[in-house]
């Protein structure tokens, strides 16, 4: 059962997610997106990755210059990677909405 889930179900779910987010028909299950929707999705992907890069760069500079606030030094995230993934997905949908409104006219 582990083999089935690990090597069959997870890659298929990944393919469906990637094909939906990119709007590409290169995958087995591709959406019926026209060129305008593909461009909107690709711009949203680039903008969301730039947002996460900005967060990581800010975190790096906070570490480099010791700019942390002492009041919150005791608290720590259990899964800090999950925080960045949430930022990535939420920023994708925000930029998708913004780019849809910009290019709808």
Question: Checking phi first, is residue 23 left (phi over 0); if not, alpha (psi -120 to 50) or beta?
Answer: left
pLDDT digits (tens, 9 = 90+) for 48-80: 999 999 999 998 898 888 887 777 667 677 787
Give the H or E element holding residue 46. helix 35-65
- Within 10 A of 101 (CB to CB), how many other CB atoms are there? 10
Task: Give the number of domains in the chain.
Answer: 2
Q: Are residues 61 and 98 in the same domain?
A: yes
Same domain, 78 and 100: yes
Measured between alpha carbons, how far is 89 from 19 in angstroms, rounded to an integer? 15
Output the pLDDT for position 30.
66
- In the structure, what pLDDT confidence band is assigned to residue 28 with cuts at 50, 70 and 90? low
* Residues 60, 104 within the same domain: yes
Give yes or no: residues 55 and 104 share one domain.
yes
Domain hosting residue 62, numbered range: 34-105
Pair 52, 8 in one domain: no
Q: Are 92 and 21 in contact (CB under 8 A)?
A: yes
**Is the pLDDT assigned to residue 6 strictly greater than 90?**
no
Return the pLDDT at 95: 95
pTM: 0.74
* 67 and 88 together in one domain: yes
């Amino acid at each position: 059962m582990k083999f089935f889930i690990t090597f069959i179900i997870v890659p298929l779910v990944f393919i469906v997610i990637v094909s939906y987010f990119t709007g590409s028909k290169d995958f087995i299950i591709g959406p019926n997106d026209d060129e305008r929707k593909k461009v909107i999705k690709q711009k949203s992907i680039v903008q969301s990755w730039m947002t996460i890069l900005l967060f990581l760069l800010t975190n790096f500079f906070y570490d480099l210059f010791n700019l942390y606030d002492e009041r919150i030094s005791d608290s720590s995230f259990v899964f800090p990677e999950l925080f960045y993934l949430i930022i990535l997905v939420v920023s994708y949908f925000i930029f998708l909405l913004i780019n849809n409104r910009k290019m709808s006219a």
